[in-house]
């Protein structure tokens, strides 16, 4: 007695294999990019960091009474390598969004490959779900590995290299945590939506790039306001020197009534003249509202949650656009592909 295989059971693995075979070059390129990035980040967090740290120890040991030598080249190599690896990793969502718009959906609709799949019994919803799920797994795995190695490299240099980037540097902040992974997933959904809406590869690529950059900028703009900040106050004579560093949310003057007001522009030639001007405005000190390093984890989680929420909204919008598109393409609707 033989088992009966339903058509749906036959089609489901076929669709997955078809998607993998169709996008095999991109998958191979992505795997190669991740492996290359991982190797470079291991190099950055290992030999380059150790050499630069030795250079900084030599520099700090100098008394400058005599000619002092230190390994400046090692310090500069680390600085350049860090920037060259951090900026592309921060921009990785742009690459994901551009590919999703141009190749994942836009090219398939433009060439008629999607319509061919639908005609062979693959439902549009499952077609889109498969195209989003498989890249999402690859993007999550690859980006998570790179983010982990970047944070490892940054941590190895913290406190050892004088020119190491601070945790609140915008590029460092995102590439050190899960927000880059979440932004890449949001870019994937943005690209899929752009491809379904425009149905042409090149316009979808351009729109995906602009929209992904907008999502990245929105996340960065909202990030300081997603978690309660702390406020520190000092007297006028101490200026901002007694305050703490981190992600600044607001700063200015504190009046006698406790009101926080913006610091007025002072064009005086001396600090004392500026302080007298501030006192005429009833100012008694400075305030600084900011996020310290202890807020790094909460800020990462809230920013990632925001990006994932946007990814969910874009995904729902993509399915709605697909439903409208396939409804218009049905016979008797008066529309053509």
- The pLDDT assigned to 89 comes to 96
- Do 118 and 93 reside in the same domain of the chain? yes
Could you tell me if residue 196 is inside a domain? yes
Could you tell me if residue 157 is inside a domain? yes
What are the mean pLDDT values of the chain's consecutive 10-residue runs (337 residues total)? 42 63 85 96 95 90 75 92 95 95 88 81 86 93 97 94 92 96 97 94 94 96 95 78 78 86 77 79 86 95 97 96 78 43
Write out the two tokens for 273.
């003249």
pLDDT tens digits, 166-196: 999 999 999 999 999 999 999 999 999 999 9
Cα–Cα distance for residue pair 132/62, rounded to 1 Å: 57
Could you tell me if residue 278 is inside a domain? yes
Could you tell me if residue 84 is inside a domain? yes
Could you tell me if residue 335 is inside a domain? no
- The pLDDT assigned to 6 comes to 42
- The pLDDT assigned to 3 comes to 43
Cα–Cα distance for residue pair 10/281, rounded to 1 Å: 78
Closest Cα partner for 44 from 95, 88, 86? Answer: 86
Q: 135 with 103: CB under 8 angstroms?
A: no
- Do 177 and 269 reside in the same domain of the chain? no
- The pLDDT assigned to 335 comes to 40
- Do 20 and 156 reside in the same domain of the chain? yes
Could you tell me if residue 333 is inside a domain? no
Cα–Cα distance for residue pair 210/94, rounded to 1 Å: 9
- Do 285 and 312 reside in the same domain of the chain? no
- Do 241 and 112 reside in the same domain of the chain? no
Domain limits at 261?
230-294
- Do 199 and 250 reside in the same domain of the chain? no
- Do 177 and 119 reside in the same domain of the chain? yes
- Do 104 and 208 reside in the same domain of the chain? yes
- Do 194 and 122 reside in the same domain of the chain? yes
- Do 146 and 286 reside in the same domain of the chain? no
Could you tell me if residue 2 is inside a domain? no
Q: Where does the chain have alpha helices with state H?
A: 7-22, 24-43, 49-61, 72-90, 92-99, 107-111, 113-119, 124-157, 170-175, 179-198, 201-222, 271-280, 296-328
Number of CB atoms found within 10 A of residue 40's CB? 18
Phi, psi of 265 (to 5 degrees): -70, 130
- Do 206 and 250 reside in the same domain of the chain? no
Q: State the total domains in the chain.
A: 2
Could you tell me if residue 55 is inside a domain? yes
- Do 43 and 95 reside in the same domain of the chain? yes
């Amino acid at each position: 007695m033989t088992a009966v295989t339903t058509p749906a059971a036959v089609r489901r693995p076929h669709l997955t294999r078809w998607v993998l075979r169709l996008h095999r070059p991109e998958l191979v390129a992505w795997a190669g990019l991740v492996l290359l990035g991982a190797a470079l980040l291991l190099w950055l967090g290992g030999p380059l960091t150790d050499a630069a740290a030795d250079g900084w120890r030599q520099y700090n040991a100098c008394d400058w009474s005599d000619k002092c030598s230190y390994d400046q080249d090692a310090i500069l190599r680390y600085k350049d390598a860090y920037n060259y690896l951090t900026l592309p990793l921060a921009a990785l969502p742009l690459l994901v969004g551009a590919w999703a718009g141009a190749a994942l959906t836009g090219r398939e609709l433009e060439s008629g490959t999607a319509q061919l799949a639908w005609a062979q019994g693959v439902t549009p919803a499952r077609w889109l779900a498969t195209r989003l799920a498989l890249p999402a797994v690859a993007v999550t795995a690859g980006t998570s590995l790179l983010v982990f190695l970047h944070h490892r490299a940054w941590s190895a240099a913290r406190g050892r290299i004088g020119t190491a980037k601070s945790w609140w540097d915008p590029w460092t902040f995102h590439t050190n945590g899960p927000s880059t992974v979440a932004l890449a997933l949001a870019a994937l959904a943005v690209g899929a939506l752009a491809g379904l809406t425009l149905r042409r590869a090149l316009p979808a690529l351009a729109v995906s790039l602009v929209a992904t950059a907008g999502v990245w900028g929105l996340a960065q703009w909202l990030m300081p306001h997603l978690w309660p900040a702390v406020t520190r106050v000092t007297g006028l004579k101490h200026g901002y020197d007694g305050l703490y560093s981190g992600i600044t949310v607001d700063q200015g003057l504190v009046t006698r009534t406790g009101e926080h007001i913006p610091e007025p522009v002072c064009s005086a030639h001396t600090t004392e003249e500026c302080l007298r001007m501030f006192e005429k405005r009833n100012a008694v000190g400075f305030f600084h509202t900011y996020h310290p390093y202890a807020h790094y984890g909460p800020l990462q989680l809230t920013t990632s949650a925001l990006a994932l929420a946007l990814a969910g909204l874009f995904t729902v919008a993509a399915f709605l656009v697909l439903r409208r598109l396939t409804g218009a393409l049905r016979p008797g609707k008066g529309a053509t592909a």
